[in-house]
Chains A and B, each alone.
Chain A
Amino acid sequence: MERRIFGLENEYGVTCTLRGQRRLSPDEVARYLFRRVVSWGRSSNVFLENGARLYLDVGSHPEYATPECDSVEEAVAHDKAGERILEGLVKGAEERLAEEGIRGEIFVFKNNTDSAGNSYGCHENYLVSRHKDFHRTVDILIPFLVTRQIFLGAGKLTQTPRGTAFSIAQRADHIWEGVSSATTRSRPIINTRDEPHGDPSKYRRLHVIIGDANLSETQIFLKMGTTALFLAALEDGALPDPLDLAQPVESCWQVSHDLSMRRPIELDGGGSATALEIQARYLEWLAKYVEKELDEPVWRQVIGEWERTLGLLESAPDKLADTLDWVAKKRLFEGYIERDGLSWADPKLRALDLQYHDVDPEKGLYKRLAAGGRMRRLFDDEKIALAASEPPTRTRAYFRGRCVTEFPGSLVAANWDSLVFDTGESHLKRVPMMEPLRGDAGRVGRLLDESEDAADLLQRLEG
């Protein structure tokens, strides 16, 4: 398989309360969170030393976008690094609140919904070739994206006409279209905004916005791994007779609300299949593809993990309480209901539903589960700490990250596909980075090691 670039973006939810009462508006919380970022980067939209982008998005949501990764595991580590970076911002902001005599605690949630029905996203990006039929890719991908929710959901309490219910996914109810260029007005499963952040004659970006923000490392691994594998097989023509759903959006809602995972989903052209059956079919195809064409450890690991997860979802879903966010959360709720005689509508459960996603290691319920050995981990905290400070080495994020680290005084603007330097000459100098796989350690590591300053670096680049 050709190397593929991918990455994840997460918008975080913020609040500041004292004994449950709101102390600051999200706008104000965001300002406190970003004060240190703004004084360091002169902007609330910065690239970090690890090559990632941190900025304040629409609606006062801090957003962390991983640097460009070319390995699944690396993408997971960099997404988890985002939580750690936000955790650092919270600490700084709480210190400033204390200095100013404002009492209150700041909460930052890696989730997708608030209590009033607003949603904010976790977006996946996969670089695809401009020369492939984009719309065909999207059509074939949609049934996969709709049904993968059964192992990628973060879980959520929802209010329905029949009372409070538990659903598998957070985002599903906020999806209203299959494919479109909208994001906030009418959210699609796949967003078609054509921003390749690279050479537009060669690349397109596939922007998947149906996904939930996950805390579980295994889920993030499965999300990026199975989707990247699916794309590879699709591009290789290795997927036999693709499935089509009769009603993708309605099916998306249905899958999220069907905890049995066995309600038939109508297929286009007649017939039906359950989410478990559709995923089992994809697994079978892709396991064969890996066996024949892509026999590498990471893809075998993706298949193995996917197989284990689907197997348990079918036979004993509760056993995935250490693997999937939605199952872990459901088990906590059931534990509370059992122990304290609560109803599903109890506000305590709704508070748990939020606190599961807190990035704070003390207050965050996922964090507590993971620290107590109750969630399976892919790697230790050291690897995540490293990802929070160092860029991936095999993509252009390496060049960006090192320039941010080593020439902060000269780097006046940064973007995914360019850096702009001020070296004291009459005009600014722009370094284009239109090839996401270049600018890696192999190509520019020595050059950066040997450059004394930004002017020297630019001269060497030109030379």
Chain B
Amino acid sequence: MSDRERSQPKGRGRQDEEAESGPQTETEADLEALDDLLDEIDEVLEENAEEFVKNYVQKGGE
């Protein structure tokens, strides 16, 4: 194993990103937005998920 291989990536944008985006914990606003999203998705989700998934069988492609 060479040092080069194990060296940390330069990731030039990394520090900027962290400075810009602040701490990593999700804010309350984020969580509320996620709840709204799940509510919206509930309306379009297949009602009989188990059957729906089981019946989704294709032939191989390519």
Residue ranges of A at the interface with B (Cβ–Cβ < 8 Å)? 11, 13-15, 17, 19-22, 26, 57-61, 114-116, 118-121, 123, 183-184, 187, 209, 267, 270-273, 276-277, 279-281, 283-284, 287, 304, 307-308, 310-312, 314-316, 318-319, 331-332, 335-336, 339, 347-348, 350-352, 354-355, 362-363, 365, 368-369, 372, 374
Contact = CB atoms under 8 A, between A and B. Distances in A.
A9 to B, nearest CB: 10
Given A272-B1, A280-B9, A351-B45, A336 B38 contact: yes
Contact of B14 (A58, A187, A315, A347): A315
A121 B62 contact: yes
Contact of B56 (A123, A270, A354): A354
A20 B51 contact: yes
Given A120-B61, A272-B1, A365-B41, A115 B17 contact: no
B53 to A, nearest CB: 4
Given A115-B56, A120-B62, A20 B45 contact: no
Contact of B49 (A307, A350, A372): A350
A105 B36 CA distance: 26
Interface residues of B, number: 42
A21 B48 contact: yes
B24 to A, nearest CB: 5
Interface in B24-62: 24, 26, 34-35, 37-38, 40-41, 44-62
A180 to B, nearest CB: 12
B46 A372 contact: no
Contacts of A348: 45, 49
Contacts of A17: 46, 51-52, 55
Contacts of A123: 62
14 contacts: A15-B56, A20-B47, A20-B48, A57-B61, A118-B60, A121-B62, A280-B9, A307-B11, A308-B17, A336-B38, A347-B49, A350-B49, A351-B52, A368-B40
B11 A311 contact: yes
Closest 10 A/B residue pairs (Cβ): A280-B9, A120-B61, A20-B48, A59-B59, A20-B51, A183-B62, A351-B49, A271-B1, A347-B50, A20-B52
B61 A280 contact: no
A351 B51 CA distance: 9
A303 B54 CA distance: 41
B53 A311 contact: no
Contacts of A280: 9-11
A121 B11 contact: no
Contact of B44 (A57, A310, A362): A362
Contacts of B21: 316, 319
B61 A281 contact: no
A36 B38 CA distance: 36
A314 B14 contact: yes
Contacts of A284: 9-10
A185 to B, nearest CB: 9
Contact of A307 (B13, B34, B48): B13
B44 A368 contact: yes
Given A15-B56, A118-B60, A336-B38, 14 more contacts: A13-B58, A15-B58, A114-B58, A116-B58, A119-B61, A123-B62, A184-B62, A272-B5, A316-B17, A316-B24, A335-B35, A347-B49, A351-B45, A368-B41
Taking each of A14, A115, A374, which has the highest tally of chain B beta carbons within 10 Å of its own beta carbon? A115
Given A184-B62, A335-B34, A315 B53 contact: no
B14 A311 contact: yes
A22 B61 CA distance: 20
A318 to B, nearest CB: 7
B1 A187 contact: no
Contacts of A319: 21, 24
Contacts of B54: 115
